[in-house]
Structure 1
Amino acid sequence: MAERVRVSDLDFVYISYSEPNKEQNWADLKNKVPWAKRVDGVVGFDSAHKAAADIAETDFFISVDGDNIIDERFLLQTLDWSKTDKKAVHRWRAINNVNGLVYGNGGLVGWDKETVKKMKTHENAQTEENQIDFCWGVPHENLHNCYSKTVINASEQQAFVAGYREGVKMSTDKGRPIPAEDFKKVWPNNLRILSTWCTVGADVENGKYAMLGARMGCFNTVIESNNEHFKIRDLDDMELYYKDQSPTDIDTDLLMYGNSLRQQLDMPIAEYDEDESRFYRFVMPPHINKGVQDREY
């Protein structure tokens, strides 16, 4: 591979599963990236990404999640392999449409095909740290720039599952649940992200379901741990879990789990109404992009 490559010369692979907005987002991607390819309905995160590597024709390719809308400015960028390790996973940030967070969750990801084929994560994991995400067991380049929006609120279930999965992940130490007595040792940035998921979004359609999911994910991982945190790697399991919970009084449930997290973990979460959520996102400093391969920290 050349030491420099234009993003527009790379294959893009859209990886979708059961997202209610996946066809709309696929149409948007094809309009922006006509050469994009698609993997749809493959069970398992590891297997789906291996399927993406199989259909990609370039040695390095970009994956786009089924709930992601890309920023076309990304197509104008050029990658310089003297700046980052091209064998590592390149993860750019996305802005979350419910809470305004800008971080790696749901963002565009660059993959070396050989790295994908060799990795064993999620349903194929052989170590605990690889059971629920790629980021702890596969070499990563976590990058500063934001080139997409992750839209997670097309249905109540989608919002809840997105929140629950992040609630679990942010309550672990490299995939291992953090005991309640050690919760204060959680990485500060993870706590900031988790608290925002739990607090912000009441003004957005289905936003409260994302908030409830995050609160329940944290509660079930830290306070009443059932050692089933790894189930977030299985979207079918998550669908069944949501249907089993079937929240009917969202405000009561939010307050109940919020009180538990505040009282038992001293978590800095608040009960924002619609106006307060809207104001929070308004005063968040805008994310300013730098170089395409500048790292997060």
Structure 2
Amino acid sequence: MIDLARCDVVFLSFDEPNADAHFEDIRTAVPRVQRVHGVKGFDAAHRRVGAVATSEHVIVIDADNVLLDPDFLSSCFDVAPRDLGRVFSFSARNVINGLRYGNGGLKIWPRTTLLTLQTHENAANELGAIDFCWTVPYYQVTRPVTEADVVGSDYQAFRAGFREGVKLNLADGQTAYAAYPDLPRAEALTLHIGPSNMERLKVWCTIGADVERGDWAIFGARLGCVMTALEGFDIEKVSDYGWTDYFWKDRIAPKYADSNVRAAKSRDLLAQINGDLGLDLTEMDAEASQRFKSTFRSQRAYGAMRIN
């Protein structure tokens, strides 16, 4: 058992527009929460979390998260002894499209793992430069403990969609065309990412028109998918917020601020995804998005993740 009431709770923020409000909500519910803010780099920020914490296990909550069940942080979490060295990644419910999976969700880290990370900007290998889950031993927990509120600004919504549009093209830290260079792109993608990631990719690229700024997230997901699957995008850039900030300010915001221009480009991206990747996606308006979310039950991953 991990006694969560005895674990340090750390709120991790960088530039999220809703970070302060979310922190105050969590601090009201969980007064012991600490905050690490503005540390550049995913690896450096998580190492800082390990440095400020003192408990054997540390609960980390990303700044774009809202707690659904604060009482969870004072409960006990039953863990098999063989898994005590893993990071427990809980599902987050995404406000845009209703997906529930580990993206952005609350995590319970062994403090020793936080202190010895070598990922992202400090990666020991190419896999670690993209995401934690390829080199850190993760254990997926389906229970949603938080809601991922990533629509605090146009940029936040776009960035959330773009990152998932890129990352959902990957398996074992590789793109489909790198894993299967001799196959057609559509066949390679289906074979490479499997049904769960394919389902999530399709939802990110179509659902959310009923949410303010949801169109920015959909646009971002489509663009990230096209750039990764079809244009040879350097996938390590997706974990570099400095590059993403530049990309937004230099390439995206000036050109696509107008909703009509953005919608036209988004339709072009959808046609490209359908034509070149065979995803067979359909434009979903606000009513269709609401109806989809009211009935959709996504595939869920549970248990220890294999790492390379």
**Is the alpha carbon distance of 1:117 and 1:143 closer, same or farther for their aligned partners in structure 2, counting shifts above 3 Å?**
same
SS at structure 1 position matched to 2:11:
strand
8 Å Cα contact 1:22/1:66 also seen in 2:
yes
Cα distance in 1 for residues equivalent to 2:286 and 2:82 = 42
Q: What is residue 77 of structure 1 aligned with on the other side?
A: 75
Shift of 1:286: 9.1
Post-superposition CA distance 1:53-109 (Å, at most 9, x none):
100120101000010111214224312343661111110000000000000001100
Cα distance in 1 for residues equivalent to 2:82 and 2:217 = 34
Shift of 1:224: 0.8
**Is the alpha carbon distance of 1:286 and 1:231 closer, same or farther for their aligned partners in structure 2, counting shifts above 3 Å?**
closer
**Identical-pair percentage:** 32
Q: What is residue 229 of structure 1 aligned with on the other side?
A: 235
Cα distance in 2 for residues equivalent to 1:80 and 1:91 = 14
Cα distance in 2 for residues equivalent to 1:232 and 1:108 = 21
Q: What is residue 40 of structure 2 aligned with on the other side?
A: 43
Q: What is residue 279 of structure 1 aligned with on the other side?
A: 291
8 Å Cα contact 1:196/1:269 also seen in 2:
no
TM-score, scaled to structure 1: 0.92
Unmatched runs of 5 consecutive residues or more in structure 1: 289-293
Is 1:215 the counterpart of 2:215 in the alignment? no
Cα distance in 2 for residues equivalent to 1:76 and 1:120 = 30
Higher helix share: 2
Post-superposition CA distance 1:11-45 (Å, at most 9, x none):
10011000010001010110111000110000000
SS at structure 2 position matched to 1:268:
coil
Cα distance in 1 for residues equivalent to 2:299 and 2:131 = 25
Q: What is residue 295 of structure 1 aligned with on the other side?
A: 303
Which of 258, 270, 283 matches 2:270?
258
Equivalent residues, number: 288
Q: What is residue 93 of structure 1 aligned with on the other side?
A: 91
SS at structure 2 position matched to 1:173:
coil
SS at structure 1 position matched to 2:134:
coil
Shift of 1:287: 10
8 Å Cα contact 2:190/2:198 also seen in 1:
no
Post-superposition CA distance 1:155-180 (Å, at most 9, x none):
11100000111111111122212222
After TM superposition, list the pairs within 5 Å mapping 1:119-268 onto structure 2: 119-179=117-177, 180=185, 182-185=188-191, 186-226=193-233, 228-243=234-249, 244-246=251-253, 247=256, 248=258, 249-268=261-280
Cα distance in 2 for residues equivalent to 1:138 and 1:230 = 17
Cα distance in 1 for residues equivalent to 2:128 and 2:304 = 22
**Is the alpha carbon distance of 1:295 and 1:145 closer, same or farther for their aligned partners in structure 2, counting shifts above 3 Å?**
farther
Which of 29, 34, 56 matches 1:32?
29
8 Å Cα contact 2:91/2:106 also seen in 1:
yes
Cα distance in 2 for residues equivalent to 1:230 and 1:265 = 22
Which of 23, 28, 38 matches 2:20?
23
Q: What is residue 291 of structure 1 aligned with on the other side?
A: none
SS at structure 2 position matched to 1:8:
helix
Cα distance in 2 for residues equivalent to 1:116 and 1:69 = 23
Cα distance in 1 for residues equivalent to 2:30 and 2:100 = 23
SS at structure 2 position matched to 1:105:
coil
Cα distance in 2 for residues equivalent to 1:296 and 1:153 = 31
Kindly provide the amino acid, as one letter, of the partner of residue 165 in structure 2.
G
**Is the alpha carbon distance of 1:106 and 1:218 closer, same or farther for their aligned partners in structure 2, counting shifts above 3 Å?**
same
Cα distance in 2 for residues equivalent to 1:286 and 1:215 = 20
Cα distance in 2 for residues equivalent to 1:81 and 1:274 = 41
SS at structure 1 position matched to 2:73:
helix
Shift of 1:6: 2.1
